[in-house]
Amino acid sequence: MSAEPVSLELPMQREPAAAASLRARVAKQILRLVTRQVPVDLVLPDGGLLNQRGGSRTEGRPGIVLRRPESLYRRLAENPKIGLGEAYTAGDWHAAEDTDLADALAPYAERLSGLMPSWMLRLSRLVDLPIPADQRGAVEHTQENISAHYDLGNDMFAAFLDPSLSYSSALFDRSRPVADQDLEEAQLRKVNAALDLAGVGAGDDVLEIGTGWGTLAIEAARRGARVTTITLSVEQAALARERIEDAGYTDRVEVVVQDYRHVAGTFDAVVSIEMIEAVGERYWPDYFAALSRLVRPGGAVALQAILMPHQRYLTTRNSYGWIQKHIFPGGLIPSTTAISEQAGQVGLSVTRTDRFGADYAETLRRWRSAFLAAWPAIRSEEFDEEFRRTWEFYLAYCEAGFRAGAIDVAQIRLEAEDRDHS
């Protein structure tokens, strides 16, 4: 992009200048060591390469330009999990002119587990920040955490989402070239796959946890189901009601601004699309207990969840990273093992898991392209250049993770045992 990067001054830990300088030099050497294992050229302001002595860029390799390398080193020294993204937002580095940002990040994601030796990983935990108390999922903070992201404004999301306003992974038809497929079509395929997984049909009572902008509720009503859909986003609820009314299903769908912990009654099916990531690990027992309590005997729950490998989940569950700080306060990605264990404790069992992580990478690629194309219309006093760079990094960072298989997404069926809910 041609826009001049903004300057973002971040609070640094108070320490003697000599100590801060030493930490920055150590971060530089670690970055040089790490990047020598990755086929991405890191270009210094003088044109040289950080990860090679002498030489020049290799033709065909992705490139990253270090515009203000010393500032980048200082941020990485302060906290590597947060500093890299904040350095991008500040304009300390950017993808080379011939390199897509996700292409620059993907090689690092592909080598995530082997980039740093174990002794270095142990040292890195010394700079891990604890998760702030207001991001641990308590009822009194959940509304604030959800609003911080989803109440950015319906118009902002509509500028880059497809007409279904689906803000979760699409599901593409693997029998056809992905490039030939419309995103809205793929999003409706995802929605109907989730409804199929939960066995939703005419006459069923359905609970949706996490309304979004109403597309799943509309599709369930189209099947003849009666739907209660809950959300904590006031802005999403308002537009969802409008869309449901326009579709002619107000007699079948009720939109309620409510925490899942406060829902009463029972349902033939419960569906929740990428909601578990926002719950907070501390409250997963409450979440799964609610699922168990709300689904009728013989019913089913369909979850769509972003996933990470279980070992990585165990090592990162208590750390605070860039995504939690800047995008999803209170968020934590589970593993399939964690989901299975939590479900089992409340009498639910995982009976089917359908993975489609590559589809999320493609979904994110399209969102980022649409976001950047729509930026002139999105830009305002509220959505400034810092916001643009933050969201550009967020979408590319996640795309790289899914492309590399560092994270995944799946639709998971949980079946309720035949038990008495009374």
Q: Which domains, and CATH codes, for the chain? A: 17-127 (no CATH), 135-416 (3.40.50.150)
Please tell me the predicted confidence (pLDDT) of residue 378.
95
Per-residue pLDDT of the chain (422 residues; tens, 9 = 90+): 334 333 343 444 455 677 778 888 888 888 888 888 899 999 999 999 997 766 788 999 999 999 999 999 999 998 888 999 999 999 999 999 999 999 999 999 998 765 555 544 454 554 455 555 555 444 544 555 555 555 578 999 999 999 999 999 999 999 999 999 999 999 999 999 999 999 999 999 999 999 999 999 999 999 999 999 999 999 999 999 999 999 999 999 999 999 999 999 999 999 999 999 988 899 999 999 999 999 999 999 999 999 999 999 998 888 888 999 999 888 899 999 999 999 999 999 999 999 999 999 999 999 999 999 999 999 999 999 999 999 999 999 999 999 999 999 999 999 986 654 43
The amino acid at residue 10 is L
DSSP letter for each residue of 60-122: TS-EEEESSHHHHHHHHHH-HHHHHHHHHHHTSEEE-TTS-HHHHHHHHHHTGGGSS-HHHHH
Phi, psi of 91 (to 5 degrees): 90, 15
Of 188, 291, 364, 398, which is the active-site residue?
398
**Which tokens hold the place of 296?**
């009728």
CA distance 39 to 55: 14
Please tell me the predicted confidence (pLDDT) of residue 37.
86
For residue 358, count CB atoms less than 10 angstroms from its CB and return exposed for 0-12, middle for 13-18, buried for 19 or more: middle
Please say if 82 is a catalytic residue: no
Tokens 């670690």, residue? 30
Please tell me the predicted confidence (pLDDT) of residue 254.
98
Chain centroid, CA 315 distance in Å: 18
Hey, how many other C-beta atoms are within 10 angstroms of the C-beta on 2?
3
Please tell me the predicted confidence (pLDDT) of residue 134.
54
Please tell me the predicted confidence (pLDDT) of residue 114.
55
- The residue among 96, 95, 72, 94 whose CA lies nearest residue 84 is 72
First to last CA, the chain: 60
For residue 29, count CB atoms less than 10 angstroms from its CB and return exposed for 0-12, middle for 13-18, buried for 19 or more: exposed
